[in-house]
Structure 1
Amino acid sequence: MANIKSAIKRVRINEEARNHNQSFKTEMRSSIKRVEELVNQKNEEDAKAALKEATQNIDKAVQKGIIHKNNGNRKKAALAKKINELGA
């Protein structure tokens, strides 16, 4: 454990930030899994609706700096590709 006052504060703030970011990350992952499940069930219409929600969650995580911009774009492209293959 840290001994210096500023280090103790930094540990506390980092823990609070980690907990705050965790909820956004969890929501993002859940929405991605929802899209993948719908694609596996070959449910194109619901998958497109879920993709819209997942895209919003990914964009929110990127905006808040939880994930990198390129990582977010890669996730969105992979989901869109799965849905496009479903329609073809």
Structure 2
Amino acid sequence: MANIKSAKKRILVNDKKNAINRARKSEIKTYIKKFEASVEENNIEEAKELLVLLQKKLSRASAKSTMHSNAASRKISRLTKRLNTMA
């Protein structure tokens, strides 16, 4: 356990950021599952709405350094490709 005041503060800050990042990643995974389900059901309109929302969430995650920007771009690209092949 840290003894220095600044080290104790870093631990608290890291815990908060970790919780935020975990929540953000979990939310993205949930929306991806919803997107995949709507694609499986051939519900194109719902899939398009979810894709727009996912692009926003993934871009936000990469901007906040929750995930690497290339990883976010790759996910967006694959989801868009999945929707386009369906339509």
Q: Place the TM-score, normalised by the shorter chain, in its bin.
A: 0.7 to 0.9
Matches within 5 A, 1:1-88: 1-87=1-87
Identify the range of structure 1 (42-51 vs 68-77) with the bigger mean alpha-carbon deviation.
42-51
User: Offset at 1:86?
Assistant: 0.7
CA RMSD across the alignment: 1.3
Identity %: 36
Identify the range of structure 1 (4-13 vs 49-58) with the bigger mean alpha-carbon deviation.
4-13
Runs of 4+ aligned residues of structure 1 deviating over 4 Å after TM superposition are none
User: Offset at 1:23?
Assistant: 2.2
Q: Distance in 2 between matches of 1:63 and 1:6?
A: 26
TM-score of the superposed pair, with normalisation by structure 2: 0.88
Q: Contact 1:59/1:72 (CA < 8 Å) preserved in 2? A: yes
User: Offset at 1:22?
Assistant: 2.1
Aligned length: 87
Q: Distance in 2 between matches of 1:63 and 1:31?
A: 18
Unaligned runs of 5+ in 2: none
User: Offset at 1:8?
Assistant: 2.0
TM-score of the superposed pair, with normalisation by structure 1: 0.87
Q: Distance in 2 between matches of 1:49 and 1:83?
A: 11
Q: Secondary structure at the match of 2:67?
A: coil
